[in-house]
Amino acid sequence: MAVYEQTYKQYLGKLTPEWSRFLIIPRHAFRDVFKSKLFTAFFIVCFAPLLVEAILIYLHHNVNALAILKVNVRELIPIDAFFFQTFVNLQASFAFFVTLLIGPPLVARDLRNNALPLYLCRPFSRAEYVLGKMSVLLILLSTITWIPQLLLFCFQAYLEGAGWFVDNLWIASAIFIGSVVWILLLALLSQAVSALVKWRVIASAALLGIFFIPSVFGEVINQLFLTRWGNIISLGALMNNVSAGLFGTFVRTTGHMTDFDGSVGREIVMNEPPLWASWFALGLICMICLALLSRKVKAYEVVK
């Protein structure tokens, strides 16, 4: 079917391996995403905290630089699990905003334009479609979360020496697992919302609502029933607990309160939900998202 021949011709060349075809979707999506100068600018800003983190690590190990800046090393934040956890959490919030910008239209746009039959009439399964769409977020969010964080961990290990690396290898695994859980949750939630709501603005608002409205309800439950179990419906609180658990900074008892029943005071211990409950809740949310995607991502929806 060459341009000059103008006849129908079969394709007889080589085909790409089937396992790699889901990566076609992110490749084409990135071209679209980075067309927006605003998004590109925001994406660059996402690396600013990482630069600060790199500078702090560098300063810790450079006596000359500290002398020039007239800063005592004790005045700097120590490079430990808490240091990395702080920056991982900071990057996680940037990841959330990146998701808010590019996640909602990914599936919604295809549903609105009936594009799913075009994908699924090819040797391309529904699972590959979802994986491809999720990869857009997974790849982008990885570049601002665990990949640079692990590089900075290696930078710190290089400056500190091999012993530090071996002693603190668990921090690297906490960085990796914590970030991957977060970006998986973001990717699944945004895809599920995108599959449910066909309009981008509404899908973005719904995604925002999923993160903030349950947090408000959770806080109301906490205040009304003098408990911390309301956090079980707050995605932010769940992730904080999981992250704290991974970095070894999780404290279950977060406060005490005295409840006065008439004149008799009663001491109440404010306990966060146990870590297993947070993991279970996150797993449940992911399962619900997958079930929704499995229901909505179809070539044609049969109206019964």
Examine residue 125 and tell whether it contacts other proteins (CB under 8 A).
yes
Q: Given candidates 123, 163, 258, 267, which one binds other proteins under the rule CB under 8 A?
A: 123
Q: Which 3 state secondary structure label does DSSP give 299?
A: coil
Q: Which stretch binds other proteins (CB under 8 A): 16-24, 92-100, 211-219, 247-255?
A: 16-24
Nearer residue to other proteins within complex by CB, 2 or 162: 2
Examine residue 36 and tell whether it contacts other proteins (CB under 8 A).
no
How far apart are the C-alpha atoms of 93 and 240, rounded to whole Å? Answer: 11
Nearest to 34 by CA among 140, 119, 149, 188: 140
Helix axes 81-102, 146-160, angle to 10 degrees: 160
Q: Report, in Å, the least distance between residue 101 CB and other proteins.
A: 15
How far apart are the C-alpha atoms of 145 and 102, rounded to whole Å? Answer: 16
7: Cβ contacts below 8 Å, ≥ 6 apart: 1
Examine residue 38 and tell whether it contacts other proteins (CB under 8 A).
no
Nearer residue to other proteins within complex by CB, 13 or 163: 13
How is residue 42 written in tokens? 């925001």
Strand partners, 267: 258
CA angle 16, 17, 19 (to 5 degrees): 130
| Residue linked to tokens 């700097």 | 76
| Residue linked to tokens 């630089």 | 65
Q: Given candidates 14, 37, 70, 256, which one binds other proteins under the rule CB under 8 A?
A: 14
Decide if 61 contacts 148 (C-beta within 8 A). no
Q: Report, in Å, the least distance between residue 204 CB and other proteins.
A: 16
Examine residue 298 and tell whether it contacts other proteins (CB under 8 A).
yes
Q: Which stretch binds other proteins (CB under 8 A): 7-15, 77-85, 223-231, 243-251?
A: 7-15
Examine residue 9 and tell whether it contacts other proteins (CB under 8 A).
yes
Nearer residue to other proteins within complex by CB, 33 or 46: 33
Examine residue 167 and tell whether it contacts other proteins (CB under 8 A).
no
Number of other CB atoms surrounding residue 70 within 10 Å: 6
Q: Which stretch binds other proteins (CB under 8 A): 94-102, 226-234, 244-252, 294-302?
A: 294-302
How far apart are the C-alpha atoms of 253 and 124, rounded to whole Å? Answer: 50
Examine residue 113 and tell whether it contacts other proteins (CB under 8 A).
yes
Examine residue 11 and tell whether it contacts other proteins (CB under 8 A).
yes
Q: Report, in Å, the least distance between residue 302 CB and other proteins.
A: 5
Examine residue 19 and tell whether it contacts other proteins (CB under 8 A).
no
CA angle 99, 102, 107 (to 5 degrees): 105
CA angle 229, 235, 238 (to 5 degrees): 55
How is residue 182 written in tokens? 């977060």
Q: Given candidates 56, 59, 76, 120, which one binds other proteins under the rule CB under 8 A?
A: 120
Examine residue 7 and tell whether it contacts other proteins (CB under 8 A).
yes
Q: Which residues bind other proteins (CB under 8 A)?
A: 1-3, 6-16, 18, 21, 24, 28, 32, 109-110, 112-115, 117-125, 298-300, 302, 304
